[in-house]
Amino acid sequence: MILFKNVQIPQAEKWLKSDILIEHGRFEELSPNIDRSIVKKGEVVDAEGGFLLPALIDPHVHVREPGFDHKENWETCSKAALKGGFCTIFDMPNNKVPVVDSITLLEKKKIALKKSYVDFGLYIALTDENIEEIMKEEVQCEICGVKVYLAHTTGGLIVKSENALLNVFRQPKPVLIHTGGVQGLERILYFYEKASIQVPSLPILYICHVSTDEEVKLIKKYKKKFPNIFAEATPHHLFLNKSNYTHYNSVLPHLAQIEDSESLWNGIAEGVLNVIGTDHAPHTLDEKKGKNPPSGFPGLETALPLLFEACLDGRIKPTDLLHLTSITARSLFGIGEGEILKGRRADCVLLKEGNFLIGEDGYVTKCGWSPFNGRKIKYRPVMTITGGTTAYRSGKFYKRDISFLTMHSIKR
Ligand code: NCD
Ligand code: ZN
Ligand code: ZN
Ligand code: ZN
């Protein structure tokens, strides 16, 4: 049993002061004055007016293990997730040996089940040849989606075959696209539209890391015709732009102009961009500072403080924040709604106020750096609860049974 005294929770477009009782893994009672004496076994947490949000879900994470364990592994990545307020991560398939069949998929699942501190799901990558493999029941049962790389990035998985790009929309799982820019976006929209003539109910088309105004406009146009198109924004494309570029912070897609970032914020307000994915893509600082630096930023530990402050500053509405970081991804991937309501599974994160600097308490991600290092933040996550029990609190991690999520396995 956990009783939070004096927290603020999101309610419509406002923040509501309340106490919250968690019992049997669920939110049991939400009301202004819950008596401390009812907690016989468990603990009372005085939140001192801190904010309690649904724990976040990140549909775009590169855990790196197996193969690139020197950058990150399941333990360090899932701990970074918990520290950042995430209770669930979905892992991308661009490992050293890419995840393109049931053997590589099951090998990764085995490692993750042993080592992960958070619930997780796995993607498989589309190749020119593996659509039949992806369609197999034994693969469909294990994946939360299919990742399609249309352009170069870490891992070198690029799909060229037109048949593959058409047939991927004949399978039911969400299809996630690394477009490589507006041309790739146009290309996949062409195939999606073409598939719509033959396939009665198209799968979700999820556009990863949208970064430019041009892409926002194109997605806005197509969303009117295809409501199953969803688009992702990353914290680094929202909060950084070309002027923040230093020698080691290259990322794909590249940081764009400040006007592009503004367009992403507007896209969020207009419902064109629907999900925040951190695109947590750790590389070591030595790699980043060396010749031919790989692209990618770590992001799990910094997303929530940045977004939450944008919310308090009025850049995003509280309901939009919840949709972007939890509700929408949960509904796209079929894992329940994730709100702080009586009877719901208790996955939540407590944010406390202070004068903090990003990175002053170190990093849990194995790569140990952040492009946001040294930024001032007013709130940071201090406690993450998953399934009603404390998984992270003030620098300490607690392992519990975790769930492997596939799209039709879990309804909470
Ligand atoms: C990602 C990585 O390193 O795996 N890099 C990146 O710059 N975003 C791959 C990707 O998401 O494209
Ligand atoms: Zn099945
Ligand atoms: Zn990508
Ligand atoms: Zn990525």
pLDDT at residue 248 in the model = 66
Rounded percentage of the chain residues whose pLDDT exceeds 90? 91
pLDDT at residue 407 in the model = 57
Pocket perturbation via mutation, ligand 1, pick of 153, 245, 248, 297 by most ligand atoms within 8 A of CB? 153
Exposure of 15 in the CB half-sphere (CA atoms within 13 A): 17
Residue 157 CA to residue 254 CA, distance in Å, equals: 19
pLDDT at residue 411 in the model = 39
Q: What is the CATH number of domain 2-52+342-405?
A: 2.30.40.10
pLDDT at residue 400 in the model = 85
3-state secondary structure (DSSP) of residue 302: coil
pLDDT along the chain (412 residues), means of 10: 97 93 97 95 96 98 98 98 98 98 98 97 98 97 97 92 98 98 98 96 97 98 97 98 79 96 98 98 95 95 98 95 97 89 96 97 97 96 96 95 70 38
Q: In the block, which residue shows the tokens 């850049």?
A: 315
Residue 69 CA to residue 220 CA, distance in Å, equals: 39
Q: Which residues make Cβ contacts (< 8 Å) with residue 124, sequence separation at least 6?
A: 93, 99, 100, 101, 105, 130, 134, 139, 143, 146, 147
pTM score over 0.85: yes
Query: Domain extents for the chain?
Result: 2-52+342-405, 55-332
Q: Which residues line ligand 1 (CB under 6 A)?
A: 62, 94, 153-154, 178, 251-252, 279, 281, 294-296
Pocket perturbation via mutation, ligand 1, pick of 154, 209, 232, 292 by most ligand atoms within 8 A of CB? 154
pLDDT at residue 409 in the model = 46
Q: Is there a shared CATH topology between the 2-52+342-405 domain and the 55-332 domain?
A: no
In CATH terms, the superfamily for domain 55-332 is Metal-dependent hydrolases (3.20.20.140)
Q: Which ligand is nearest to the CA of 177?
A: 3
pLDDT at residue 412 in the model = 37
From residue 185, alpha-carbon distances to 2, 151, 195, 275 in Å are: 46, 10, 15, 17
The DSSP code for 33 is: -
Ligand 1 atom closest to residue 178's alpha carbon, by position in its atom list? 12
